[in-house]
Structure 1
Amino acid sequence: MKRDKSAVQVASIGFTGKTAQKFFDLLKEGHVRTVLDIRLNNTSQLAGFAKRQDLPYFLEHLCNAAYVEVPELAPEPDLLKRYQGKELTWENFREEYVELLARRRVESNLDIALFQSGCLLCSEHLPHHCHRMFALEYLNKHWNNRFAITHLT
């Protein structure tokens, strides 16, 4: 398949269910130059090798990639808590998260260049059940479908 040279190449990845070797190999194979951390809680022990304190070092030395936190794309604590507590369905979570992105005006406040060869990072293993997919869809819609999206699994 031929890649559109004008498209902004962007990926997404979750660290859960992956060994460190698999995680960093996927980033290298995906030619990721910047990992964009969109997690609400990136310091938890559950984050293991992907903790905010350690990840910049690993990325630089293993992948020659940079690390950038993008809290504008993280869900609010209450929203995540209500979803995890089963007060919200997945569809309700999606709707409220997209409304949050709109209120934050992320499409105006973030630079599309940040996403070139970037990779959105969250904890969920697969993208179809993670806010990183909704963030990419939202931005792509508002940026005239400029993204060529790859989910690294």
Structure 2
Amino acid sequence: MTDVCTIGFTRTTARGFFERLKAAQVRAVIDVRLHNTSQLAGFAKADDLAFFLGEIGGMVYRHEPLLAPSDDILKAFKRDKGDWRLYETRFLSLMAERKIETRLKPDLFEGACLLCSEAAPHHCHRRLVCEYLNCKWDGRLRVRHL
């Protein structure tokens, strides 16, 4: 089994965010956002986050846009207040089209935490990434949502 976590950075303080990562003994954060430099991201802007992760917890930062939805899918859901089921279907199709299960290896996820903006995983693509890969990798990932 490969242990992987997921986390969102909204609706939390920087202290709460980093304490959850440290408590889970995360060694690497894999940023699965399409856009990781927004001013609205606060402490989770790419360069700042990489710095804080290293300084606070000795963790590594990696941006992996292969695991992010396309701009079209994202805008249809966020900006246009789209339906979650349609978003989910389109994103699952995109991951299949990208063949992410062949382009990434389970070992990449050991001790890692997938990062996105959503506070909870139920309507977030980081959960879909884990479920999709688990389906393709015969349940190899043991997922914990922080």
* TM-score, length-scaled by structure 1: 0.93
- What secondary structure, in the 3-state scheme, does the structure 1 residue paired with 2:93 have? helix
Displaced runs of 4 or more, over 2 A: 85-88
> Could you say which residue in structure 2 is the equivalent of 1:65?
59
- What secondary structure, in the 3-state scheme, does the structure 1 residue paired with 2:126 have? helix
> Does 1:97 find its partner at 2:102?
no
In structure 2, relative to structure 1, the CA distance for the partners of 1:20 and 1:87 (3 Å cut) is closer
Distance 2:20 2:26 in 1: 9
Distance 1:141 1:151 in 2: 18
Distance 1:137 1:105 in 2: 14
Equivalent position to 1:121, from 88, 103, 115: 115
What code does the residue aligned with 1:68 have? R
Distance 1:10 1:71 in 2: 18
> Could you say which residue in structure 2 is the equivalent of 1:138?
132
Deviation at 1:71, TM superposition (A): 0.7
- What secondary structure, in the 3-state scheme, does the structure 2 residue paired with 1:127 have? coil
Q: 1:73-113, CA deviations, whole angstroms, 9 ceiling, x for partnerless residues?
A: 00000111011234631001000000000000000001211
> Does 1:46 find its partner at 2:40?
yes
- What secondary structure, in the 3-state scheme, does the structure 2 residue paired with 1:11 have? strand
> Could you say which residue in structure 2 is the equivalent of 1:3?
none
Aligned-pair identity (%): 46
Equivalent position to 1:20, from 14, 38, 42: 14
Greater displacement, 86-95 / 62-71: 86-95
- Tell me how many residue pairs correspond in the alignment: 146
* TM-score, length-scaled by structure 2: 0.97
Q: Is the 8 A contact 2:106 2:141 kept in 1?
A: no
Equivalent position to 2:49, from 48, 52, 55: 55
Distance 2:30 2:138 in 1: 21
> Could you say which residue in structure 1 is the equivalent of 2:3?
9
- What secondary structure, in the 3-state scheme, does the structure 2 residue paired with 1:22 have? helix
Distance 1:39 1:54 in 2: 15
5+ unaligned residues in a row in structure 2: which ranges? none
In structure 2, relative to structure 1, the CA distance for the partners of 1:87 and 1:135 (3 Å cut) is same
